[in-house]
Structure 1
Amino acid sequence: MFFNNTSNYTIFTKPKHKPPKPIPSPSPTNISHIVFGIAGSTKTYQNRASYIQSWWKPNKTRGFIFFETLPNNHLPWSNSSPPFHISENTSKYDDYNKHPIPQAIRMARIVYEMFNLIKDNVRWYVLADDDTIFFMNNLVDVLGRYDHEKYFYIGMISECHASNFYHSFEMGFGGAGFALSYPLAKALVKKLDLCLKRYPSLYGSDHIVQSCVADLGVSLTQEKGFHQIDLHNDISGLLSSHPHSPFLSLHHLDVVDPIFPSMNRTQSLSHLMKSAKADESRLLQQTICYHKPKNWTFSISWGYSVQIYEAIFPPSLLQKPLQTFTPWSKSTKPFFVFNTRIPSNNPCENPHVFFFDSVGNKRGDYIVTRYERKRYRGLPACSLSGNHSADFVSGIVVLSPERKYDLIGNRRECCDVLHDMRRNATEIKLRDCFENEILP
């Protein structure tokens, strides 16, 4: 439209379009974006220091171990351990909070204290116990999949039905460790004292936190790599059939057998870290392949164990752990939240077991791991295999492509038996499965 102001015309024109400024994509999540709050006790730290030191990276990992009192017996403090912090006095909560375990309030408030101690450049707060072992590279990769600017509560329930039944099937168990995104942690600390008053009878700090998170409208996002290990005795059956998911944590190693034969718990953990250092992305990932001339099945738990079965078994069976362990409690059946296989003396069903021994020199683009037999099973050969006994096999070499194993949306790796079993040791090479490959 034109307006006449005697001598000049004023013309209204459409403003030039300006493209929106691009929104910068966030940098990939790294170890510096994660802050750890570790619930500790001066009474137990002497026996658990080696657990924390196995995964803590001085000058790289951020966080604190929270003690109830000054750890005088452990001074001077080791640089290989997390810095310690003395928890706030929680006696002011005694008037309205009679928790079944006195430490529950102190441990629940670690969220509050940790948030106020470190806020800069934080994407995730991870809470755990002082006997929790983390696999840091895998943890960084998994948390990096999620949008840290949204409300996320990431963890895993217990392996034992009784633990979930008596606490919650919606709870990330604190022993396995759980992660809170920064926005969720910020909202949580504002309401934490209200939650302590609202839930006076909950047994554990992790249940208090979960209940408060639920009040904020957030549910647990499960990651199967967090392991509470509410189990007893020999957990090798579980570790040899790990879910197709990054291995993130282990808990309760004090109450299970050492995970490697002829080693104590500290030695076993150190030994597992050797394979983790070689390729953490593949650690405990299960690969299954077959040697048809002898009708043998191989089940590989990378960096931990190899099993030989003298018969052909499908992956759907071997993905079920051998029940070498017992439940935390037998008060609730079924005992476990996953299917298991009962160990058998049938020579066709009882595997020859080889445990991780060492990482060798690379062969071209392949990582070399060796597995050795620790004991003989003392059974005759399986008749289904044509009496092809595997007793003579003393060791197995596994060749793995030297690349990060990406589990997101991928299949398990496949493998080929390279040697025809005429030697005491054999070699297996891992590879990507073919497009339409079906096992066996």
Structure 2
Amino acid sequence: MSVITVENISKHYIIDHKRGKGTNSLRDAITGTVKGWFGSHETADDLTHEEFWALRDVNFSVEQGDRVGIVGHNGAGKSTLLKILSKIVEPTNGSVRIKGRVASLLEVGTGFHPELTGRENIYLNGSLLGMRRDEIRKAFDEIVAFAGVERFLDTPVKRYSSGMYVRLGFAISAHLNPEIMIVDEVLAVGDADFQKKSLGKMRDNSASGRTILFVSHNLTAVQALCNKTLYFEKGQLIEQGETNQVVASYLSKVSRTRLRLAWETPEEAPGNDLVRVRRIELIPEYPAGATHIDVRTPMRIQFEFWNMMDRANLNLSLHLYSLTGECIFNVGSDSTAYGKGLIQGECVIPGYFLNDGTYTISIMIVKDTVTPLYNMEEGITFDVEDFREGVAWYGKWPGYVRPQFPFRVQALEPIIDIR
């Protein structure tokens, strides 16, 4: 039985731009406000209008008990879709039919009143979901235990951290028996234990007949939870079907190799007033006869940045991520005092360390070992291909790393034939 039916929905926005001007600065905003006080207003001739389709002609249906992942780049239309399904915004065209009570967790603090305590917000959210007071009371202790906010239950939630907000919001949504749960990327705010617990709870809810819609950039979480997946790109539904198949298709489209990024001057380089990136480059040391990176290939990662501070203790922190969003490792350099000027760092990844797959390197410049000055989240992206010698099995080698550790096997005594 279909509990969600989406037919030809589109969402259209008009974006206004000032003629001949880029992004408004704070000064522009203040100037505009002051002009408004004295009756000087922009006319229609001062603005240009851009049409933007956040969603276009989207069709799909969701069966009861399905766990549906929604994947795609930022700006693909995922969050707009969830807001339409949650009845926060209306579609420009098309229709949506939903059977059942919906609980949505779309951003930190959704459905919370900041002045109310955690205890009061549990009852408020339950009431918004149509629950009776005795039903809420029955689930109350389990909600509090799951969220881990016992000590702060009678504290106004405006004093909660973002992680506490998410834990309590998810616990309420998951325990107050909605027929349909809609969860956006907000779970990424929680720690690893909470994410694991939340995925398990959503899986349990689905086993009891509840339906889950789950947006995440963490494709591993999508594969672990969801039996079906929708892939969106530029507001259009590109593919839908079994999760592993759709995720593989999505990865094949977004996978790309980018081994060098460089900027000539600090003015055009990414960064801020303290530090700016000059170059990040991955330099493979190909084995004889090889022309591409494979599991044997050692790699040097070089990073250069301009330091604009007179004196600062700085170090580099390098993160290596899989394309599914998991951090494979993080390694940092020593903290050293530097003056103004160009600084270079280098890290070596040995051969026979990474398994085949697609990886992304991010670099963070850190001051005094604790204060991030700039985080270059998407630096180098590269593919590692498979290579095997003397192995007759050619299935997918499991894991993200593929080291060649010493591994001795020997017979300790001869086998005695007792027949």
* TM-score, normalised via structure 1 length: 0.26
* TM-score, normalised via structure 2 length: 0.26
